[in-house]
Structures are given as structure tokens and as C-alpha cells.
Structure 1
């Protein structure tokens, strides 16, 4: 029996919400009622969207700092790659609901529980993409830097990191979109984010709430992905130049 089935069985008989002077679309339970959506934007969807963004930004931000630092250390000290990479890969394989349940006894039903799990899911992709980007810098380019008298730190900051930007941002794109999706599942633990109206919509025959919240989550993922792509083009314009054969 799935979690959705359990929730549906435990919930009272679903009733289409009464919003006063409901339009024909709400009365007829249309697929998407624009008037109901706009009337409830400020009270239901906008707060949920802001919570979703906040949960995502915190998780991706903390995960990026941890993974980036670990990748830099592994770049200089190769022995760190195996333990950190293995741990992050192991955490990535745990289903989200299972990880939430494992954390609850220690951190309670709280935002901290959700954020620890979300951060754990960001580490593997961010770590591997950052380390791969640093290691893919041609050795000849490093030798040119050494010939110019640059120190190892200067080579990292002026040569390796700029050339690794496309790979780092590629991992960031995957991680951000994945985190936005996982935050929806976090509604089983905390009543925040777009997952909350989605779960409420699943327990009701009124489809607008479910459809609207789901569409907002998709739109958020597309917007975040587009923003990262735009930032990548600003930071590494040469990456978009086609190579000649």
C-alpha cells in the first residue's frame, strides 16, 4: 500500500471546496478553474511557491558549498575522492521518504529533517561535476600557467576554475531541478512548499488545486534551469562557440 493510498484512506470523504460565490467551473469541477486559482493565489499558491523556493535554495546552496569544498580537496588530495564519492553515492540511492523517516527520530518532524535529506541528495552530482570539470583542464594549459610563473593557487583560480565552470553549472542544473522535485515529497514531513497543495488536491475530486500546484512546480524547475543556463553563458561565453573540425 502506497503512502498516497494510506492518506486517501485516512482522509474524510472528499468535498469540493466551498468558496462562496463559486463560478460554473468550480461548481462543475472543471479541469482548471482560472477564477478559483486567481482568487487563491495570494493565500494558497504564492506562499507555497515562496516556501518551495526557500527550501530549494537552502538545500542547493549548502550542498554546493560542501561538494565544492570536497571536490577542491579531492583535486589536490586524490585519496579523498573515494570516501566522499562513495558516501554521497550511497546517500543518493536512499529513497526520499525512507531517508526522511530515518532522520525523524533524531531531528524530529521539522525543516531541519527535510533540509538534511535534501542536502544529502545534492552532494553526489555536484561533487562529481566539479571534480570532473577541474580534471578535464588540459595538462598543456596548466604547464603554460606554470611557465608564466603562476603558483598552484593562481593556476586554480585563473585557469582551472574558469574552465571548469560549464561542468560545474551542468551539475548545478541537474541538482536544482532534482531538488525542486524532491521538495514536493517533503510535504509528507512538513506542511510547506508546493507539495502541500498537491497532497491536498490528491485527496479531493477538485482538480484545480492539484493541477495548479503541479504546473507551478514545473514552471519553477524550468525557470531555475533557464536562469542557470543564462548565468553559464555570462561566465563562460566561449563554451557556446562551436568548435571547428
Structure 2
């Protein structure tokens, strides 16, 4: 294993190094440089690699081991939260407010976190991916007000979650759970959550060894996906339907 991450070629179509070459410290750092073109990003996601860096840094590419993932039938909502949802008037939509979701993910304050890794360049890159039908958002609305959301990239039948936000308690939970519910109904089994944290684990995230995740992405990523906007597929979906979900906790 190399002691340094690979410097990427300027050619957006150039290959990434094998993910097995990722560093252990920091965990998963694989490559440096390149760009955020759609060609490069799609190539990265097809191999289970994602960009993550802060303003002022070069572009850093990661493949951590283990990997945090959700089974689309495994997102957990506690019974108390589901009871609250039964009387909720929140509505879930898809791909009707992508720009607003990514902007909120970039600027909504998070406990214990200063600043954001979602730079202007990242926003522009994922807006391009959205325009091409590869990046999608799920939005949670109370009336006309956006109260939560999630965005990410779809490749084949894998959804690679990038970020989510809440401005009202539970907004991001509903966005994630609604996304997973729809993906499960479409026959997509997996949502990538990248790196574990306490919140994701409480919602049912699992930790998979890199080799298992890589195998799943290779198989599912090669299957037919659903390119283009998802707005009509989801419509105005009432969040209270998540109260019917079988999973959950206390």
C-alpha cells in the first residue's frame, strides 16, 4: 500500500487507482486532484469513491473501510416519531427543489461542526449532475416551506447519499426514510451513507467491509437505473405514510 494518495491525471476519463490502495490513516483517502466533471464523478461513484474536502484544499477522493450503508428496507424510525407522523401534514417530493436542498445542506448549522465541505465548486458540480439526470433530491415540505431534505447521486440501482438537513426536528429523517421507501419499491436495495456517525447508526445504518460494498456497487451499479427527473415518480407523497413502516424502535 502506498504511503501517499495517488495524484490523479488531468484527463477526466482517466482511471482511479484500485480502492484497496486507500490509506488507513486517514481512513479511506485514495487520491488527490482531478476535477468535479460529470465524467470524473460518475467514474468515481461507479467504483465506490466520493469527493470530500474543505475550502482551500485540493480535491480529495475517498473509499473508507468500513463503509456506512443503509438497506432500503432498514431505515429505522422510532415508534414515538412514527406516532407524531400520523398527524403530520408534511409532504415529500423529489427533484422539485434540488438547488434549495443542496444550498440548505451547505448552510444549515450543525452541532459541533464549523463551516461546510459543500463548497461553491461542489454545488456547481452537483447542479450539473442534477441537470444531466444523475443527481437527485428528496424534499420535505410543510406547506410551501422546505423543512428537510437529502441529495445524492444515482448510479445503476445504488443511491449514493451526499448530505441531508433539517430546519424542523425530524425533517432529515423523513427525507431519508421516504427516499429509502421509494427506492425499495423500485427494487433498489442500497443507500450509501459514506462514513458512520452516531445519528446515522441510530437510524439503522450498517457498517460493511470495503470489499463487500465494492462487490455490491459493481453488481448494482451495472443494472438499469432511472435517469432523469424523479418528480413525477414521487408526486406529492404524504409523510404520514411512513408511520405505516414496519421497522422502528422505542
TM-score w.r.t. the length of structure 2 is 0.27
Choose between structure 1 and 2: higher helix proportion. 1
Q: Determine which structure has more spread, i.e. the larger CA radius of gyration.
A: 1
Choose between structure 1 and 2: higher strand proportion. 2
